[in-house]
A = this chain, B = another copy of it.
């Protein structure tokens, strides 16, 4: 601990964790909190956002080939307050409020040394069953992490907003894959949390015009609040593809850049129709096999570019939230105490009712 700091790590300190035991089996489990190693800090977690991958573990035990083989603490979108720091830590001090970066690349593999840490061969990403043993998550009221994972949250910023730095990072990484958006007409396809944040990220980075499409009016309302200029409910506006595919001036399509956030084949195909020659589709949404019209990709010389997680974008995300350049208020549907986690997960699963649902780790403790 830092000298002179009032807080002392109590022997036998314990925390409450949200564990996925098996599909549809969420449990709150108590666990000992470890001692701080050099460079580490202890964070009293304030809020944690429920992500799509958390929902996949909850409903189906995973997605694709990623499946839980044993119980795992969920969660990777958290912010809280530093309670204690190891003696050598300068970056933060007790009392600081921080967003916690859940991405922990190894910093020694070939990808880390190429500046692609999101492709790290030995990534330990919170709450992920990609490797076995699984990497435990951050849905717990006390979390020990590296100081370097902590980005300070500005005064006046709510922790439930800071907790959303992680999905904003994902969206920002998507924007970085598209190159400059100066003068670009942008389509955001799928307006769940990542799509809505892609709207915000594209707006901050100068997109000339942002059109957001989804199947529900509720998500489109949020997309507008996050900065979309135009929204289209593709469930009811069945002409939309034709309209944007045959734009008067360019005749081959309208959009320069598409952020595909649904992972849905029909959404991707419809979007391809509306893209301008040389348009860039950034694929953020995960799906399985999807069928694409190869002749159109060739004929219009489209690019489909995958975007996976993030790295440097996490600090940027916190900065944008700190400075009020991204306003997270429209994103938050509500927050539930840990004891009502199941309720929170069920609400989060209903896209007509929920954008981002959070767990409030301090609710019952305080």
What residues make up the interface of A, taking CB atoms closer than 8 Å to B?
64, 107-108, 110-119, 121, 172, 175-177, 179-183, 204-206, 208-209, 249-252, 263, 268, 277-278, 283-308, 312-313, 315-316, 319
Contact = CB atoms under 8 A, between A and B. Distances in A.
B183 A313 contact: yes
Contacts of A305: 301-304
Contacts of A112: 113
Contacts of A179: 179-180
A118 B278 CA distance: 11
Interface centre among A108, A301, A312 (most CB of B within 10 A): A301
Contacts of A297: 283, 304, 306
Contacts of A117: 113
29 contacts: A64-B295, A111-B250, A113-B115, A115-B116, A119-B277, A119-B300, A119-B301, A172-B182, A176-B183, A179-B179, A180-B205, A182-B205, A182-B316, A183-B312, A183-B313, A206-B206, A208-B316, A283-B298, A286-B295, A287-B294, A288-B295, A289-B291, A289-B293, A296-B306, A297-B304, A300-B306, A301-B306, A301-B308, A303-B305
A53 to B, nearest CB: 12
Nearest to A205: B206
A262 to B, nearest CB: 11
Given A287-B294, A297-B304, A304-B304, 6 more contacts: A111-B250, A113-B115, A114-B115, A115-B115, A116-B277, A176-B182
B288 A293 contact: yes
Nearest to A206: B205
A123 B341 CA distance: 51
B288 A283 contact: no
Contacts of A119: 252, 277-278, 300-301
A116 to B, nearest CB: 6
A248 to B, nearest CB: 11
